[in-house]
Structure 1
Amino acid sequence: MSSAGDDRAPRVRPPVAVALATVVFATLVIFGFGMLSLALDEDVIAMPGLGQVPGILSLSIAAVSFAVLLAIALRQSAPSFWAVAWITPAVFLVYLATLWIGAVGVGAGIAAAAAIAGRVATTWFGAVPAGAAAVAAWGGMALVRTRADRPRWPWEHDDDE
């Protein structure tokens, strides 16, 4: 039997949940961009000669910001799912800002970089990092908040019948 103090402890520790959720976030963004690009027959960044640096930079910085924001949200004694409501737009804005910075950094110009970030923000491609942040943040919260035990086969129970 477990004591009352054990029932209150989370099954998954916050640092582990942050790591797992961050990997899920990055994976969902990469998968989502790939599938959406395939379905629409368009590039995520539709500017020839720009290269991969803006996309890699924006996803990397967005993943780091996601991890930091989720870690802050999970530091509370009773983390709330409402944190997803501020993590999602914050990560989305970081993604767009670093996409713009990355495009300017590789020589696209301020107006062209704004057009790139604006296109991503106003098309289905913008829904990908926002949706991935929402799903992954909710999953990270659920890992810490859920007190469920692992599934067991009927013969694994400790009951003596």
Structure 2
Amino acid sequence: GTNLVSAAYCLYSSSTFLVFTLGSGAYGFTLDEQIGEFVLSHPNIKIPTSSSIMSFNEANTHLWDTPMQNVLHKWKNGTGQSQKTFFSRYIGSMVADVHRTLLYGGVFGYPGTEDETINPDGKIRLLYEGAPMAYIIEQAGGLATTGRERVMEILPEVVHQRVPVV
């Protein structure tokens, strides 16, 4: 977690986009097909501090613990601390959902469930999804937590360990 020195992801859509950090900010590069190289298109990405976008798989809401259900309910109804009404944008791909959050702000989450048979520890793998994306998010000024602790401070116990993320 806290010993990471770099993290990156690549997003393929109408253009190919690479987000990269070496621990001093997050930077976005777009593939220029004419020259066959990635060109810096988003220097020093900072997550907007004001947004009303939430990105959760709401089909699983009934499986989450009560505090997480309550938070989501308040965000949807504008009764949370910010008094903003959040709207849902969920693609179902962590990279695409986090990418939108980096550029437009908001909250991405994949909470664990109370059902011990369905992702009680969340679905995101710590070593190759959770920690690298948390590193990028933090380098862009955001926060990454399990709801109880900072993702970057979790010491892995097994290679494929899963964690909830918000």
Higher relative contact order (CA 8 A, sep 6+): 1
TM-score by length of 1: 0.23
Larger radius of gyration: 1
TM-score by length of 2: 0.23
Answer 1 or 2: which has greater strand percent.
2
